[in-house]
Amino acid sequence: MKKIVIAATTCLLMASCGNNQTNAKPETMQSDDSLFDAFKQNFVEDLWKMYPSWAASQGYHKYDSVLVVPNDESSAKELAFCKETSSLLKALDIAKLSDKNKTDYYMIENQINSTEWSINTQKANEWNPSVFNICGEFAEMLNNNYDTLPVRLHNFYLKMKNIPAYYEAAKKQIKNPTVEHTQLAIDQNLGGLSVFETDLEDALKKDNPKKEIADAIRARAKEAVAAIKDYADFLKKLKNETPRSFRLGKELYAKKFEFDIQSGYTADEIYKKAIQHKAELHKQMFILADKLFAKYITEPEKLTVGKKGFTPKPKDSLALIKMVIDKISLKHVAADSFQIAIEHQIPLLVDFIKQKDLIYIDPSKPLVVRKEPAYMAGVAGASISAPGPYDKNGNTYYNVGSLSGWDKEKAESYLREYNHYILQILNIHEAIPGHYTQLVYANQSPSIIKSIFGNGAMIEGWAVYTERMMLENGYGNNEPEMWLMYYKWNLRTTCNTILDYGVHVNNLSKEDALNLLINEAFQQKAEAEGKWKRVSVTQVQLCSYFTGYTEIYDFREELKKKMGDKFNLKQFHEKFLSYGSAPVKYIKMLMLADLDKEKK
Ligand code: ZN
Ligand code: ZN
């Protein structure tokens, strides 16, 4: 079936090149953009056939009953798909496409190259056993109400058929796994067993199907449980005398960075920029903390040298900064008004943006603030939930966490982290003009490609960029406390990059990593330990925030220089966002090209 679709697309493309003279009647000639749109439609349909689980996660449920067995045959199919897509792309004249389609083109091309590289070179399936885990996607089928329960249960039943074959194939793929990913795979797979035990039983109770149906489902679930346990056992017993290091190494890291981040900078360049930026942040923070020291540390006690309780100014600048930050963090809302405080801030942010003319905020799409749904509880102070590309009527929500039920100590530590100042920066980042505003603009130029392959560095970079942009324009009245807290917040993003590159390329030890996070980025020990765990099982993703931010910021400064008096911040923001969630380097390229056109 897929072959036929591809063949049809090829015909279409050839017609556009004028090769097919008998069909090249003027009235049937299609523009390059409409050809490309047709190609995209086929491409996405083929993509979902190839990756049913990915499709389901995007809200496309046509292939819900299919579980692909990860073996050489499926890899070969993927590679063939990449090759076909690649040759179809090459047949298109990119120069003739609209800006929107140009960026879509580049993003598809990147996806294809990235997949080929993952299969042929990165080979995570050989060293990362946690890539094999079906629990999450099965859980989604039970928990997500996209269809009636009987339909979801039926697909659940059909999809379970391949679970034993899936894990048998997984065992064959693994060659020299890292210790860290092996443990992760054991924990996550065993942790997911409840899906086939308790979650499934709950669903069966709710649906109450005929006995023979329920029995058949239970029988397959039993096989699934056995297969998962067997996989965990296999990993536990695996003779792995020379395990591979979890550190990716310079070469693989550079490539993964290129594909995942799609930055105009290399990984090396970004790392150097992060190191420089950290030094700059420390310098600025010291100036502020030094000024604030008297207000927060010495003054309240009104004590003089020699008397009991006097706190001398630390000689070490980082210790001084930490001392002042700890004091300022004590200014925070009460646990029971956390949610209300966030809700109250949203209209203030909108007013500020209007007053300063920073970006147009569409009043017809107000942000829906809601209490964090139960299944997300305890994850974050606030987050944005956006509907997937196939969920046209879905709402976008600003989920705000509640601290009710938290023990006092935990709540206090959390409230200090999200203190009076950081809470405002969080709202800028997550909501306005950060993620939510970006999303509203992205939806104005809908692109299925950008919904699926949306560039994480651009999305996170924008949110991080707006934090600084708001403060630069006077948000928070230029209070030194606000700036100091902002710098601390920004330091986290910056050190994520230093940590990630340091660990995977420069062999940074755990001790040095914790020192970086605790003493240089002022993080709590628990937070730093968590970050170490994350960096030892992920690669590159931690760089997306700082890279995107740096690219957007640098680009803005470059444009300011280029345009002089003609530069307008509001226009810059609106134009930048009009391209949707595309990599910053392409947005930059297209915006600069437009500028050149205007000059001529
Ligand atoms: Zn307190
Ligand atoms: Zn974010």
Rounded to an integer, what distance in angstroms lies between the CA atom of residue 113 and that of residue 505? Answer: 22
Supply the DSSP string of 213-267, one letter for each residue.
Answer: HHHHHHHHHHHHHHHHHHHHHHHHH---SSPBPSS--HHHHHHHHHHHH--SS-H
CA of 197 to the centre of ligand 2 (A): 34
What average pLDDT does range 520-525 have in this prediction? 93
What average pLDDT does range 416-432 have in this prediction? 94
CA of 460 to the centre of ligand 2 (A): 5
CA of 418 to the centre of ligand 1 (A): 11
Rounded to an integer, what distance in angstroms lies between the CA atom of residue 113 and that of residue 78? Answer: 12
CA of 381 to the centre of ligand 2 (A): 12
Q: Is 556 left (phi over 0), alpha (psi -120 to 50) or beta?
A: alpha
Indicate if the pLDDT at residue 170 is higher than 80: yes
CA of 528 to the centre of ligand 2 (A): 19
Residue 292: how many CB atoms within 10 A of its CB?
Answer: 21
CA of 410 to the centre of ligand 1 (A): 11
Which ligand gives the minimal distance to the CA of 464? 2
CA of 531 to the centre of ligand 1 (A): 25
What pLDDT sits at residue 110? Answer: 97
CA of 428 to the centre of ligand 1 (A): 23
Indicate if the pLDDT at residue 299 is higher than 80: no
What pLDDT sits at residue 267? Answer: 98
pLDDT digit string (tens) for 452-468? 999 999 999 999 999 99
Helix (H) / strand (E) element for 538: namely none
Indicate if the pLDDT at residue 303 is higher than 70: no
Q: What percent of the chain has pLDDT over 70?
A: 91
CA of 462 to the centre of ligand 2 (A): 9
Return the higher-pLDDT residue of 377 and 199.
199
Helix (H) / strand (E) element for 369: namely strand 368-371
Q: Predicted confidence band at 312 (pLDDT cuts at 50, 70, 90)?
A: confident
What pLDDT sits at residue 23? Answer: 42
Least confident interval from 142-156, 209-223, 360-374, 404-418: 360-374
Indicate if the pLDDT at residue 413 is higher than 50: yes
Helix (H) / strand (E) element for 598: namely helix 584-599
Instruction: Kindly compute the dihedral angle of the four CA atoms of residues 537, 540, 543, 544, in this order, to the nearest 10 degrees.
Output: -110
Cα–Cα–Cα angle for 447, 449, 450, nearest 5°? Answer: 70
What pLDDT sits at residue 304? Answer: 52
Indicate if the pLDDT at residue 590 is higher than 90: yes
Instruction: Evaluate whether 422 touches 489 at the Cβ level (below 8 Å).
Output: yes
CA of 406 to the centre of ligand 1 (A): 14
What pLDDT sits at residue 269? Answer: 98
CA of 379 to the centre of ligand 2 (A): 14
What average pLDDT does range 73-80 have in this prediction? 97
Helix (H) / strand (E) element for 399: namely strand 397-400
Which ligand gives the minimal distance to the CA of 462? 2
Which ligand gives the minimal distance to the CA of 411? 1
Q: Predicted confidence band at 374 (pLDDT cuts at 50, 70, 90)?
A: low
Q: Predicted confidence band at 446 (pLDDT cuts at 50, 70, 90)?
A: confident
What pLDDT sits at residue 445? Answer: 78
In the chain, the amino acid numbered 332 is H
Q: Which two tokens stand for residue 381?
A: 């102070």
Indicate if the pLDDT at residue 470 is higher than 80: yes
Rounded to an integer, what distance in angstroms lies between the CA atom of residue 262 and that of residue 113? Answer: 12
Rounded to an integer, what distance in angstroms lies between the CA atom of residue 92 and that of residue 280? Answer: 46
Return the higher-pLDDT residue of 389 and 177.
177
Rounded to an integer, what distance in angstroms lies between the CA atom of residue 389 and that of residue 4? Answer: 26
CA of 412 to the centre of ligand 1 (A): 5
pLDDT digit string (tens) for 376-399? 555 556 788 887 788 766 778 888
Report which of 344, 343, 351 is spatially closest to residue 370, judged by C-alpha positions. 343
Q: What percent of the chain has pLDDT over 90?
A: 76
Which ligand gives the minimal distance to the CA of 328? 1
Crossing angle, helix 584-599 and helix 456-472, to 10 degrees?
70
In the chain, the amino acid numbered 562 is K
Least confident interval from 197-211, 330-344, 568-582: 330-344
For 168-182, letters b (16+ CB in 10 Å) and e give ebbeebbeebbebbb
Instruction: Kindly compute the dihedral angle of the four CA atoms of residues 328, 334, 340, 346, in this order, to the nearest 10 degrees.
Output: 0
Instruction: Evaluate whether 91 touches 128 at the Cβ level (below 8 Å).
Output: no
Rounded to an integer, what distance in angstroms lies between the CA atom of residue 583 and that of residue 462? Answer: 11
Residue 284: exposure state from Cβ atoms within 10 A (0-12, 13-18, ≥19): middle
CA of 459 to the centre of ligand 2 (A): 7
What pLDDT sits at residue 336? Answer: 87
Q: Predicted confidence band at 30 (pLDDT cuts at 50, 70, 90)?
A: confident
Instruction: Evaluate whether 523 touches 416 at the Cβ level (below 8 Å).
Output: no
What average pLDDT does range 571-586 have in this prediction? 96
Instruction: Evaluate whether 563 touches 595 at the Cβ level (below 8 Å).
Output: yes
Indicate if the pLDDT at residue 165 is higher than 80: yes
Alpha carbons within 13 A on the beta-carbon side of 389? 19
Which ligand gives the minimal distance to the CA of 332? 1
CA of 419 to the centre of ligand 1 (A): 9
Q: Which two tokens stand for residue 198?
A: 């308790």
Rounded to an integer, what distance in angstroms lies between the CA atom of residue 415 and that of residue 423? Answer: 9
CA 572, 583, 600, 97 torsion-angle sign: negative
Which ligand gives the minimal distance to the CA of 425? 2
Return the higher-pLDDT residue of 493 and 417.
493
pLDDT digit string (tens) for 539-550? 999 999 999 999
CA of 417 to the centre of ligand 2 (A): 17
Q: What is the rounded average pLDDT for all residues in the chain? A: 90
Q: Predicted confidence band at 8 (pLDDT cuts at 50, 70, 90)?
A: very low
- In DSSP terms, 382 is beta-bridged to 400
What pLDDT sits at residue 145? Answer: 84
What pLDDT sits at residue 570? Answer: 98
Q: How far apart are the first and last CA of the chain?
A: 49
CA of 374 to the centre of ligand 1 (A): 26
CA of 429 to the centre of ligand 2 (A): 6
Rounded to an integer, what distance in angstroms lies between the CA atom of residue 555 and that of residue 547? Answer: 12
